Amino acid sequence: MLYYLFEYLGTHYDIAGAGLFQYISFRSAIAFIVSLLFSAIYGKQIINYLQRKQVGESVRDLGLVGQAEKAGTPTMGGIIIILATLIPVLLFSKVDNIYIIILIVTTIWMGTIGFIDDYIKIFRKNKEGLKGRFKVLGQITLGIFVGAMLYFHPDVTMKEKLPQKFQYETEEGVPVLFADAHKSTKTTIPFLKNNELDYAAVLDLFGDGLRDYAWIIFIPIIIFIITAVSNGANLTDGIDGLAAGSSAIIVLTLGIFAWVSGNIIFADYLDVMYIPNSGEMTIFIAAFVGALVGFLWYNTYPAQVFMGDTGSLTIGGIIAVLAISVRKELLIPILAGIFLVENLSVVLQVGFFKYTKKKYGEGKRIFKMSPLHHHYQKSGYHESKIVTRFWIVGIMLAVLTIVTLKLR
């Protein structure tokens, strides 16, 4: 909103400093600061409100060290993250940008699903929360919305770099390095020479003229990614600071991709996809990172608040949509490797237990407990050490993800 106000003031009254709002870098910095201050300052008031309403965590006895002390800790702290993200975004971004619209809808939608889940757990005293099929239905609905918007909306385009022999200069001497903007289902794929994969090309296997129906391939992939990443974030939210810290690292990396992909100069220099209008996502990402870091002020060990499903499902959904929007979704297994390993540890644990029980009459386990972070807790590691080491691994994966862009 302030963007449009200062644009008007700068155009009609030539007010000094109003032009700064034209720069994504300036608005991103302000969004980060406002988000961080909001979550750090007003977060305490929200925590106190949750305590007064007795919105406390009921802890199951899993035999973990320090578990009993966490009983009664306020949950639903994801509200802090959501508010600290949306307020700066509404203030400093172009709210008519298609990518910003998609991210705002994602935040509200996944936040609502998580809130309902936490509400049922806390106020209805039903530890199971929202039934799994309704969560999945909500994720599928969001996936259809995001997929349809990215596939059909005319503002979602990309520009491909022209071969050297087709590049030219205009009469004004401006070099033209990229072709005109066009719709495309191309995405980035690591470790391959051309570094790109076109989902529509899959339909060529079934005959000519089917590329207009590429949404049949595209939308189910979007649904799968959103469901997988949001569930991965949910599973990772098991010890103080793990999900918020790991997510901040992932989102910051996606912010670099959004910045580069939305700037034609950087896209040309680094030889990556140029995605018009995607640079505006940098403001959302800056606000989101600020919210996560501010939330960590209260969520690091010993936590004063838990994010609950209100926060974890929202975080996972946003990360998935960001990765898809900058066409880096196939890098998620590397970038969000923490989420992937947490997910796999649960799948392997449950699958192996069922298999051995059926075969031998007694179920056996691969890990002492799943998700993986609980395995290390059972092994005697303090949760602060586990979280810090997971963060270190997350940073290494983030660096590897960036490096893969040049490995072709």
Question: What are the residue ranges spanned by the domains of the chain?
Answer: 23-57+67-404
Contact by Cβ (8 Å): 153, 181: no
Residue 82 pLDDT > 60: yes
Reading the block at residue 380, the tokens are 């005697």
Lowest-confidence pick of 12-26, 145-159, 252-266: 12-26
Tens of pLDDT, residue by residue over 291-341, are 999 999 999 988 889 998 999 999 999 999 999 999 999 999 999 999 999
| Per-residue model confidence (pLDDT) at position 112 | 96
| Per-residue model confidence (pLDDT) at position 79 | 95
CA distances from residue 158 to 178, 326, 401 in whole angstroms, order as listed: 10, 10, 21
Q: What is the DSSP string of 353-385?
A: HHHHHHHHSS---SSSSSSHHHHHHHTT--HHH
| Per-residue model confidence (pLDDT) at position 385 | 94
The model's confidence at residue 65, banded by pLDDT at 50, 70 and 90, is low
Mean pLDDT to the nearest integer, 189-212 = 80
The model's confidence at residue 63, banded by pLDDT at 50, 70 and 90, is low
Mean pLDDT to the nearest integer, 228-257 = 94
Residue 408 pLDDT > 60: no
Report the C-alpha gap between 122 and 357 in whole angstroms.
Answer: 34
Please give the helix or strand (H or E) that residue 186 lies within, else none: strand 186-188
Mean pLDDT to the nearest integer, 7-25 = 79
| Per-residue model confidence (pLDDT) at position 114 | 94
Residue 165 pLDDT > 80: no
Residue 186 pLDDT > 80: yes
| Per-residue model confidence (pLDDT) at position 62 | 57
The model's confidence at residue 1, banded by pLDDT at 50, 70 and 90, is confident
Judged on CB neighbours under 10 Å (0-12, 13-18, 19+), 133 is exposed
Residue 208 pLDDT > 90: no
Cα radius of gyration rounded to whole Å, the chain: 23
Contact by Cβ (8 Å): 405, 394: no
With the C-alpha atoms ordered 370, 65, 68, 115, is the resulting torsion angle positive or negative? negative
Using a pLDDT cut of 90, give the percent of the chain over it. Answer: 57
Q: What is the DSSP string of 9-29?
A: HHHHT--TTGGGGG-HHHHHH
Residue 24 pLDDT > 80: yes
Reading the block at residue 72, the tokens are 């009664």
| Per-residue model confidence (pLDDT) at position 64 | 62
Residue 406 pLDDT > 80: no
